[in-house]
Chain A
């Protein structure tokens, strides 16, 4: 397993789906470990009843069916399937509505889904998912991207409340890839994935959704910033180490005697 994860850390992130299915076929006995530890780009299905798309993940899957957060129905239909209890389903409905607005404000498009379920120690778990295709043929408003994908997975474990305080453990993963293509500069492609955790003890007076939302918003901001500044910045630094862009090069034409 460790070696498999080592391979995932080195393969180009834009090929993570291929890499994962290759590992699954090499290590069939580890398939559940692989599926839970390796993040892959999110898949989408249409919920015909609501006319809205929803995101598929391990958390809304039962057998080979996936539950839509909009109609609460499994696709394809499944008998004796698992559903969240009524109280939690109420929070899930609200979370989906609010998160869709949040998503629209930050992403100007995209698809979002929120799933909730009870965990074993009387708390609950919520999974917030966002998928955005930012390519110019999809929802990239500015038309900069030949190809552009952003997948965010936020899983929050909420412990049972004690004296008005609950502990929230958030694990977030962002996978993205972007490609620009211009005649003068060729194809320029960056892809990557990072995962971070954040734990907080918060008063539940404003409600779970408010607390979870704030944590996700803060985390997404941090992840976006570190991808942009740190991770992309490091690859740029590497390019400039390979070929320093200093004035040295600018004065070279003189030194050739022309």
Chain B
């Protein structure tokens, strides 16, 4: 396994990127710090970091504070306008982001072309209001945003468009050796002809506990639903009810998975007690003949 051949810079960079992209929620800065020492090659390090951070930030949908009290912005592929520019549809602002430092350096107003048409915006902002209410209640640290991802130029009925709801909740508690994140992405297709809203959700939950060990949860779920195409306000309420329903159910299923662990799931790896329900009779094994007897008694002789 230990390759003696010296790696070329490109191979080193790919390895470095693998580490960075596999960082648990909120830990990429720590990983980068260790990686710099391991690599001992600033050029490779800088390249790996500048390529990995944008991908990591978007896939973890990190939340950054915009300067001068302009609110929070989520870094997501749905709001990405340029390499370092992310739209905050709620405030119609564009955040200029430093990916590696994970800060928002400045904001500018969004141009008309970057925003949805008045018609789509009615649906988007109505949904934003409902999701803001829901996420605020369900996720103590949750940040949400609603983007128009298709048909933002649609001026009125007769055409399809698509909204995406993102909820990102992150809890970092390194002093307690625990970090975690919940990410929901809901795609809502507004199908004009069928007068139907197709709703598809992707939920992802991760947690890392690392006091004297390293244990990670990685849970993913996809689900779908549909409802009627109604007025902006009624559609918004229907959609947020669907989200609430599925996310509540998903949380419940996670709890079931956890409660099945001790007695069911874990048992397939190792039992708490032997099949005999008593501790193993080590004191009997010093005599070799008894070993055979145990084997015979338990009927597990080979």
Contacts and interface: CB of A to CB of B under 8 A. Distances in A.
A8 B27 CA distance: 13
A10 B24 contact: yes
Interface residues of B, number: 103
B17 to A, nearest CB: 11
Contact of A213 (B249, B265, B285, B294): B285
Interface stretch (A19-27, A73-81, A119-127, A158-166): A19-27
A108 B271 contact: yes
Nearest to B19: A7
B7 A26 contact: yes
Interface string A226-258: 011101101111110111110011101101111
Contact of B269 (A6, A20, A150): A150
A83 interface: no
A27 B274 CA distance: 43
Nearest to A175: B214
A148 B280 CA distance: 24
A19 to B, nearest CB: 7
A194 B216 CA distance: 12
Choose among B22, B280, B295 the residue with the greatest number of A CB atoms under 10 Å from its CB: B280
A242 B170 CA distance: 7
B254 A144 contact: no
A150 B267 CA distance: 11
Given A194-B212, A224-B272, A228-B262, A242 B291 contact: no
Contacts of B12: 26
Contact of A185 (B23, B171, B218, B250): B250
B258 A236 contact: yes
Interface in A98-113: 98, 101-102, 104-108
Q: Summarize A's interface: helix, strand, loop or mixed.
A: helix
Contact of A26 (B39, B260, B283): B39
Interface string B78-90: 0000000000000
Contacts of B271: 105-108
Contact of A27 (B38, B253, B280, B291): B38
A249 B219 contact: no
B213 interface: yes
A225 to B, nearest CB: 8
A241 B254 CA distance: 13
B210 interface: yes
A228 B258 CA distance: 9
Contacts of B222: 186
A180 interface: yes
A209 interface: yes
A41 interface: no
A228 B266 contact: yes
Interface residues of A, number: 102
Contacts of A84: none
Contacts of B241: 253, 256, 258
Interface stretch (B117-125, B149-157, B176-184): B176-184
Interface string B258-302: 101110111111111111100110110110100100110010100
B268 A243 contact: no
Contact of B213 (A15, A23, A192, A217): A192
Choose among A10, A27, A104 the residue with the greatest number of B CB atoms under 10 Å from its CB: A10
B282 to A, nearest CB: 4
Choose among B244, B255, B264, B282 the residue with the greatest number of A CB atoms under 10 Å from its CB: B282
Nearest to A142: B268
Interface of B: 1-4, 6-7, 11-12, 15, 18-19, 22-24, 27, 30-31, 33-39, 130, 133-134, 137-142, 169-171, 178-182, 203, 205, 207-222, 237, 240-241, 244, 247-258, 260-262, 264-276, 279-280, 282-283, 285-286, 288, 291, 294-295, 298, 300
Interface of A: 2-4, 6-15, 18-28, 31, 35, 94, 97-98, 101-102, 104-108, 132, 134-136, 139-145, 148-150, 176, 178, 180, 182, 184-195, 206-207, 209-210, 213-214, 217, 220-221, 224-225, 227-229, 231-232, 234-239, 241-245, 248-250, 252-253, 255-258
21 contacts: A3-B33, A4-B38, A13-B214, A14-B216, A24-B1, A25-B7, A101-B298, A105-B298, A149-B269, A186-B203, A190-B216, A194-B213, A209-B282, A210-B283, A224-B270, A232-B215, A239-B205, A241-B171, A242-B181, A248-B137, A258-B241
Top-9 shortest CB links A-B: A186-B221, A192-B215, A105-B274, A185-B253, A194-B213, A238-B180, A140-B268, A3-B37, A134-B268
